[in-house]
C-alpha cells in the first residue's frame, strides 16, 4: 500500500481528490494536511473555521496534520514550515503527497519542486479532467459545498455563500471556470461520498476583507463568533 498524505483546503477539489484516491486499492490515505491562519484560527485563503475543518476530518475518518501559519506570513516562512512537515512525513513513512490541483502548470511545478528534495512523490489525481465535466460529476455524486470566498475582480461578490450546485453552474459567466481553478472562488465541503455523514453548517455573516468576499459558516457545535482578518 502506498501511504498518501492529502493536501486539504476544506474545499471541493481536495474532497473529490480524497474520493478518487480511495477508489484505488493500492493507496491508503493516512491524513489531511491543512495550513491554518493561527491568528484567526481559520483555513488559509478559504477562511473555513477550525471547527468546520475538524468536523470534515471526523466525517472523513482521517487525522488532521495542521500547519499553523503566522499572519502575515512570508513565502520564506511558509516554505520553511512546509519543509518541516515534509520531514515529519518522511519519519512517518509517507510515500506520496496528493493535491487537488486541476490544470495550472505553474502551481503543479511549484509543488513538484518543493517535494523533489524529500523523495516524497507528488500525486495529482484530478489533473486535466475537464472542469465542466468534473463539476457536474461532483454534484451528481452528492458532493455539497458552499462558496466561502469570492474574488470580485473575477466574479460578483453576490455569489458568496451560494451552494456549489447546478443552478450555480448555470449562473456562472462563461469566462469563469466551473471549478474556480483560476481563483474566482473557493468552497467549503459539507457533504459527499468522501464523508460518513453530512456536516450541519449554519450561515453566518458575509464580509468584504482584503479585496475578497467571505461567507462565514459554522458547525452546530461551534460558537457563532470568531474573528476575521482585518
Rounded to two decimals, what is the model's pTM? Answer: 0.94
pLDDT in tens, 59-80: 999 999 999 999 888 999 999 9
Band the pLDDT of 45: cuts 50, 70, 90.
Answer: confident
Across the chain, what does the average pLDDT equal? 94
CA proximity to 168, closest of 141, 136, 200: 136
- Share in percent of the chain as helix, strand, coil (round to 5): 30, 30, 40
Q: Is it the case that residue 204 has pLDDT exceeding 70?
A: yes
Residue 226 lies in a domain: no
- Is residue 168 a part of any domain in this protein? yes
Over residues 170-192, the pLDDT tens digits come to 999 999 999 999 999 999 999 99
pLDDT band at 230 (very low <50, low <70, confident <90, very high): very low
The domain that holds 167 is classified in CATH as 3.40.50.620
Residue 136 lies in a domain: yes
Whole domain around residue 97: which residue ranges? 2-219
Nearest Cα neighbor of 216 from 143, 138, 142, 150 is 150
Q: What value does the mean pLDDT take over residues 92-109?
A: 98
Pairwise CA distance, residues 199 & 2, whole Å:
29
If one counts the domains in the chain, the total is 1
pLDDT of residue 225: 47
pLDDT per residue as tens digits for the range 125-166? 999 999 999 999 999 999 999 999 999 999 999 999 999 999
> Are 131 and 181 a contacting pair, CB within 8 Å?
yes
Pairing of strands 212-219, 144-150: antiparallel
Q: What is the pairing mode between strands 96-98 and 121-123?
A: parallel
In degrees, to the nearest 5, what angle opens at C-alpha 49 toward C-alphas 48 and 54?
105
Confidence of residue 220 (pLDDT cuts 50, 70, 90): low
Domain membership of residue 230 (yes or no) is no
| Gap between the Cα atoms of 10 and 47, Å rounded | 9
**Per-residue pLDDT, 39:** 86
Residue 227 lies in a domain: no
**Separation CA 77–CA 98 (nearest Å):** 22
Amino acid at each position: 500500500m502506498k501511504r498518501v498524505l492529502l493536501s486539504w483546503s476544506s474545499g471541493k477539489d481536495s474532497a473529490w481528490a480524497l474520493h478518487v484516491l480511495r477508489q484505488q486499492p493500492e493507496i491508503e490515505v493516512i491524513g489531511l494536511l491543512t495550513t491554518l491562519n493561527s491568528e484567526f484560527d481559520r483555513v488559509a485563503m478559504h477562511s473555513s473555521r477550525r471547527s468546520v475543518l475538524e468536523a470534515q476530518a471526523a466525517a472523513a475518518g482521517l487525522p488532521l496534520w495542521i500547519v499553523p501559519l503566522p499572519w502575515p506570513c512570508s513565502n520564506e516562512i511558509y516554505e520553511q514550515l512546509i519543509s518541516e512537515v515534509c520531514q515529519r512525513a518522511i519519519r512517518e513513512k509517507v510515500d506520496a503527497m496528493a493535491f487537488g490541483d486541476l490544470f495550472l502548470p505553474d502551481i503543479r511545478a511549484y509543488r513538484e519542486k518543493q517535494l523533489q528534495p524529500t523523495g516524497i512523490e507528488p500525486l495529482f489525481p484530478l489533473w486535466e479532467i475537464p472542469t465542466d465535466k468534473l463539476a457536474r460529476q461532483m454534484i451528481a455524486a452528492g458532493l455539497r459545498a458552499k462558496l466561502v470566498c469570492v474574488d470580485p475582480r473575477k466574479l460578483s461578490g453576490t455569489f458568496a455563500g451560494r451552494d456549489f450546485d447546478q443552478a450555480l453552474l448555470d449562473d456562472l459567466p462563461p469566462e469563469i471556470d466551473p471549478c474556480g481553478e483560476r481563483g474566482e472562488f473557493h468552497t467549503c465541503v459539507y457533504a459527499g461520498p468522501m464523508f460518513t455523514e453530512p456536516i450541519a453548517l449554519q450561515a453566518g455573516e458575509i464580509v468584504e476583507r482584503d479585496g475578497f468576499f467571505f461567507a462565514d459558516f459554522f458547525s452546530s457545535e461551534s460558537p457563532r463568533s470568531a474573528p476575521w482578518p482585518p
